[in-house]
């Protein structure tokens, strides 16, 4: 039996599996840069890299599960802490530029639900649609995404901003979303074969995802690292097709895609240092560690919540 061991930590699923992708429900136009029949790997590009590249990310943690009793009925909720920050990387150093932390209590919209004051600060009440685990998780995730938009730094005209994950409405000048794990099939089989043939530093031609309400440019990029299967080390990058990079401006989108492709490979992680290599870039890994330290001690926060519940 011939097999290969994936370098990606199995606790995070798989970085990319062409046979496990779900078909996209979005409208996809794969002819924007090259006709589908002419698709081929592009680059690596001899493109100047930005003087500063900013990486933006967020982390979240559930501090405690709670129950809110109203009218004799108990409703589930969650107390969580979210944090977001940015790290600026130049040719000589990397520096965390901003960190924001928020604590909140998430419950269904019941009359008795309110913010919780503890000895370590307030958990601000955030109502969610229902008390289901999915809605509670979504509420926490939305708070983290909102916080990420607050820490976007003021950038120069040639700087690059890299968000960890899909854009999800986040935007900045010369911004790109970095999707590490692939779950959706946006391309036809012939174009997917082109992605599987990418060499280190090469990208796919651009394709356009979605309609006028939230259109975004996208492309696949191969980061340097072990090649255990065809999509190993492949990330998908997306750029908002808004007024700064409109749908009709293919040349501007190509220029930014080439800049991203020339910039990101130097930040790719290695398996002996990172269990999500090479997709979890070193600046993002370092930022995640810094943010988790800002979440506070979970045991102390749980104790403070218990004391607050006894005082009610």
Percent of the chain with pLDDT over 70: 91
Select from 80, 73, 79, 81 the least CA-distant residue to 112.
73
pLDDT of 144 reads: 95
pLDDT of 187 reads: 94
pLDDT in tens, 62-113: 999 999 988 888 889 999 999 999 999 998 899 998 899 999 999 999 887 8
pLDDT of 169 reads: 74
pLDDT of 247 reads: 75
Helix (H, G, I), strand (E, B) or coil at 66: strand
Q: Which pLDDT band holds residue 3 (cuts at 50, 70, 90)?
A: very low
Select from 266, 236, 100 the least CA-distant residue to 176.
236
Residues 235-259: what's their mean pLDDT?
88
pTM of structure: 0.89
**Contact present, 223 and 268 (Cβ < 8 Å):** yes
Domain boundaries, the chain: 10-52+158-289, 58-154+297-311
Decide which of 7 and 23 is more confident: 23
Asked if pLDDT for residue 19 goes beyond 60, the answer is no
pLDDT of 58 reads: 96
pLDDT of 101 reads: 97
Decide which of 178 and 244 is more confident: 178
């Amino acid at each position: 039996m011939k097999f290969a061991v994936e370098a990606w930590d199995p606790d995070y699923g798989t970085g990319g599996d062409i046979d496990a992708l779900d078909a996209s429900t979005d409208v996809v136009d794969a002819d924007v840069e090259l006709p589908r029949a002419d698709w081929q790997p592009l680059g690596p590009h001899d493109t100047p890299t930005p003087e500063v590249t900013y990486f933006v990310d967020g982390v979240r943690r559930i501090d405690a599960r709670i129950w809110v009793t109203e009218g004799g009925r108990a409703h589930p909720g969650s107390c969580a802490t979210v944090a977001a920050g940015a790290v600026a990387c130049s040719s000589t150093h990397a520096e965390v530029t901003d960190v924001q932390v928020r604590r909140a209590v998430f419950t269904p919209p019941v009359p008795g639900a309110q913010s919780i004051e503890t000895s370590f600060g307030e958990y601000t009440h955030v109502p969610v649609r229902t008390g289901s685990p999915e809605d509670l998780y979504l509420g926490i995730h939305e708070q983290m995404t909102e916080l990420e938009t607050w820490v976007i730094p003021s950038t120069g005209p040639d700087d690059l901003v890299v968000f960890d994950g899909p854009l999800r409405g986040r935007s900045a000048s010369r911004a790109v979303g970095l999707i590490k794990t692939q779950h959706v099939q946006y391309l036809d089989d012939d174009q997917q074969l082109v992605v599987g043939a990418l060499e280190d530093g090469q990208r796919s031609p651009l394709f356009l995802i979605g309609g006028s309400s939230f259109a975004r440019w996208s492309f696949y990029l191969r980061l340097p690292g072990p090649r255990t299967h065809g999509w190993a080390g492949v990330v998908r990058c997306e750029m908002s097709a808004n007024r700064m990079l409109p749908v009709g401006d293919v040349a501007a989108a190509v220029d930014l895609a080439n800049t991203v492709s020339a910039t990101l490979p130097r930040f790719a992680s290695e398996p002996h240092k990172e269990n999500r290599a090479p997709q979890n870039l070193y600046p993002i890994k370092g930022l995640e560690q810094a943010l988790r330290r800002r979440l506070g001690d979970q045991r102390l926060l749980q104790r403070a919540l218990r004391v607050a519940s006894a005082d009610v």
